[in-house]
A = this chain, B = another copy of it.
């Protein structure tokens, strides 16, 4: 099966959580918009293509099937790529954790765009400073502390007790947060040893290491979810 991944070009964004699963598994896939341009997604987004209509990228085409929403795509791919145990309890726990990651990803996005996704950061910078301060002080410790504890209870190496797509997403989360909020993460990291070690282990997996060294891995930048504005990272917004 060749998978067709559709996501905006030029940024990692939410597509990266799917890309990491495909890369880790060595799956046969095409990053379609990178090959053909973003306009290739329009028929799907406008409801002119067959299959379930996506509200937004990323979405995946697998044969005739269209699957959208990151957690749903990973739930679909998990057993097919060997990235989750193929039992209902394991798949539900993976989905639950992935949805909690997705909630934090939205909060991280909204820390630089608390008013309107479609407006410039500069036009909502005061609100962003307040929201980012709350993220640093309350939300990051709460979410990351939760994942650290779930990881500890699962034995410390894998959040589901074995390698899964959720580990790959936790790696992406930790690397994204280190890019966007280096000062805040320098403070939090000593309390998150298992998450830090997990992220390092994932980065060292052969297929992931090869991917990260390739030009397929777009560097973090200020078009994505994880954006580095020093003033949001404990500076003037604190």
Point out residues on A near B: beta carbons under 8 Å: 47, 52-55, 65, 67-69, 71-72, 75-76, 89, 92-93, 95-96, 99-100, 103, 106, 110, 114-116, 118-119, 124, 127, 130-131, 134, 138, 143, 146, 149-150, 153
Contact = CB atoms under 8 A, between A and B. Distances in A.
A9 B103 CA distance: 22
Dominant secondary structure at the A interface: helix
B115 A96 contact: no
Given A52-B93, A55-B143, A47 B149 contact: yes
A55 B144 CA distance: 11
Given A127-B127, A130-B127, A52 B110 contact: no
7 tightest A-B CB contacts, nearest first: A116-B134, A69-B99, A52-B93, A127-B127, A55-B100, A115-B130, A114-B114
Given A53-B153, A69-B100, A131 B146 contact: no
A143 B53 CA distance: 13
A52 B96 contact: yes
